Structures are given as C-alpha cells and as structure tokens.
Amino acid sequence: MNSTSPSGAATVANIAYCYVLPIVCAIGVIGNITNLIVLASRRLRAVSYMYLRALAVADLLCMIFVLLFVTTEILTKNGAPINQYKVYQIYQCHFMLTLINWALGAGVYVVVALSLERYISIVFPMHFRAWNSPRRASKAIVIAFIIPALLYVPYAITRYKSIEKWDDHIYKWTRETILRFLPIVTLSVLNIQIMIAFRKRQKMFQKLTKRNEQGAHKDDTLMYMLGGTVFMSLLCNIPAAINLLLIDETLKRRLDYQIFRAVANILEITNHASQFYVFCACSTDYRTTFLQKFPCFKKTYANRSRLRSFVKRTQSAITRDKDSSDQPTSSPKAS
C-alpha cells in the first residue's frame, strides 16, 4: 500500500469526517442538551454542578462547531459553490478550526477546575468550605473560557498568512503545551492524589469502624472511576495534541497520517460527546434528577434496577452456598 496515496488519504478523510464524525456529534448534541436541562434543576445547585453546566456548554458548542465544519465539508465534496462566498472564505480561513479548538480547550480547563475542587475537598477538607464558593467557581469558569481564546487568536490571524519574524513552531508548541499537555499532566497528578487520599481514608475507616463489604465496594468503584478519568484523558487528548503539532500540507497527502489524524480527532470529539452518559453512569443524584425531568425513562430504569437486584440476590445466594459447602462437617462425639 502506498503511504502517500492521495486517493487513499481522501477516502479516509471522507469516511471519518462525512460519516463517523456527524454521528458522534449528533449523539453529543443530544447528550449535552439533555445535560443542560438536567443540570438546570434546583436539586443540582451545588458549586460542583456549576462546573458541570459550564462543561456541558463548552461541549455543546464544540459539537455545533464540528457539525458546521462537517456540513461545509460535505457540501464542498458534493459540488456546492460555497467557496465563492466571502463569508465562508473568512469563516474557513480564520474561524472554522479556531472555534472548534477553543471549545475543546475550554472544556478541558473546566475539567481541570473541577478536578482541583475535588482535590481540595478530599485532600484539604478543613479548608474546602472557605475555599469553595460560587463566586470563585464563576471566576474559574470565565478564566477557563478566556485562556484558550487568547491562545488561539494568533492561530486565527496567521493560519493562511506568512508573517516575517514569526516562528510558527514555537507558537504551536507553546499553545499545545498550555492547552493539551499541561492539563493532561495536571489532571493525572490531581486524580492520582485523590485516589491515594481515598485509599488512605478507606484504610483508616476500616480500622476505626467495621464497615460492610458494600461500603468498601463503593470506594473501589470510585477508584475505578477516577482511574478511568485519567486513562480517558491520556487516550483521547494526547493523540490530538500530537496531530496539531505535526500537521502540515505535505503530511495531509499521506495515507498513514490521515488515518492517525482521523482516529485522533474522533477520539477527542468522542471524549467531549460522552459527558452526559458518564454522568448518568456515575452519579445517583444525576440519574434521579434525569428521571424527574424525563419520566418516560422511569419504566426502563426500573426494569434495569430489578435486573440488577436479581443478579445481586443470585450472587449472594451462590456465595452463601459456597461458604456453607466449604465449612467442614463436625462428627458427633462418642458417648
């Protein structure tokens, strides 16, 4: 297979951006609109949910901008003369990718702010009440949206311009370090520290109290969730950051690069499209509020709850039978 085949590269780009990405974005739009409806509930008014609402806004904007990009790509491939319009030319040159990457960067920084809040609540619980306030959260959210916007202004201005005394490589590395690699490292460190603190607290509570296995299982589930957060951040964001550092017009003609680029972009968008489904899987309060907002799903959820209850009862019965069979039978004493 020729790694520089233009037709192969075009086919990969066509499949990724005209078929796969629209489906991912449609799922993301539905999920994030649902997210905003659920998070608007009075039941979810804690400061933590301010970050989640901001994250839903950033992710929804990202999905909309990506859908605009995909729509214009499909129209262009089908021969629509949109390239003749001045408005589209300005949008394509200066705003199309800038807006997508701004929304992605804002979402990442909101997640960093939320992880920092969790870190302080777990590692420094005595200082958390004084530190955690709606005003502080609002400032953090505004900063999370401003930083990526400022860093992408040079990209929007100079994308198709050759400016003397402008080192594009230094700018790209600085931008991607601040917007991609630094948040990934920060998220990894914060969540690892949270997991360590939880593990220490779990051991301390086990010594002081006789907790049942169900409580220990909940802590283990939380550990898996936090570990999964770190893993998903690494898996979905690092390839996209590498792609933005490598991308140029020569590489775009290579088939192997187009495959890597398509996978990296789809992974990153999928990460931001899946927030609603992660919340539903992880938060009991969120699921309860969701069912209040959308009562049509109560029957489905009740059926799943009954199935889980049946499985748990079956597992408990099997465990009891196994324990009773493992116990040695005592022989009667001779009189």
- What tens digit of pLDDT does each residue of 97-115 get? 899 999 999 998 998 998 8
In a domain, 238, yes or no: no
pLDDT band of residue 320 (cuts 50, 70, 90) is low
Structure confidence at residue 105 (pLDDT): 92
**pLDDT tens for each residue of 38-64:** 888 888 778 888 888 999 999 999 999
Domain that holds residue 247: 6-163+243-304
Helix extents (H) in 40-95: 47-77, 86-90
pLDDT band of residue 209 (cuts 50, 70, 90) is low
> If we measure between CA atoms, which residue out of 101, 92, 89 comes closest to residue 69?
92
247 alpha carbon, distance to own chain's centre: 23
Question: Dmax of the chain from CA atoms?
Answer: 107
In a domain, 156, yes or no: yes
Those residues whose C-beta lies under 8 Å from the C-beta of residue 179, and which sit 6 or more positions away, are 101, 105, 108, 147, 148, 151, 241
Contact 276, 32 (CB under 8 A): yes
**pLDDT tens for each residue of 183-193:** 888 988 888 88
pLDDT band of residue 273 (cuts 50, 70, 90) is confident
Domain with residue 132: its CATH number is: 1.20.1070.10
Structure confidence at residue 331 (pLDDT): 44
In a domain, 172, yes or no: no
Structure confidence at residue 245 (pLDDT): 74
C-alpha span between 23 and 51 (Å, rounded): 26
Average pLDDT, the chain: 78
pLDDT band of residue 335 (cuts 50, 70, 90) is very low
In the chain, the number of structural domains is 1
Structure confidence at residue 225 (pLDDT): 56
In a domain, 217, yes or no: no
The beta strand positions in 100-194, using DSSP E, are none
4 pLDDT exceeds 60?
Answer: no
* C-beta atoms surrounding 121 within 10 Å: 18
Structure confidence at residue 66 (pLDDT): 92
CA distances from 198 to 44, 119, 128, 195, 272 (A): 24, 10, 16, 5, 27
Structure confidence at residue 45 (pLDDT): 79
In a domain, 11, yes or no: yes
**What is the per-residue DSSP string for 246-278?**
H--TTGGG-HHHHHHHHHHHHHHHHHHHTHHHH
Contact 244, 172 (CB under 8 A): yes
Say whether pTM exceeds 0.85.
Answer: no
In a domain, 175, yes or no: no
| Six token digits for residue 93 | 């040159």
Structure confidence at residue 330 (pLDDT): 46
> If we measure between CA atoms, which residue out of 197, 23, 24 comes closest to residue 122?
197
Structure confidence at residue 332 (pLDDT): 42
In a domain, 234, yes or no: no
In a domain, 97, yes or no: yes
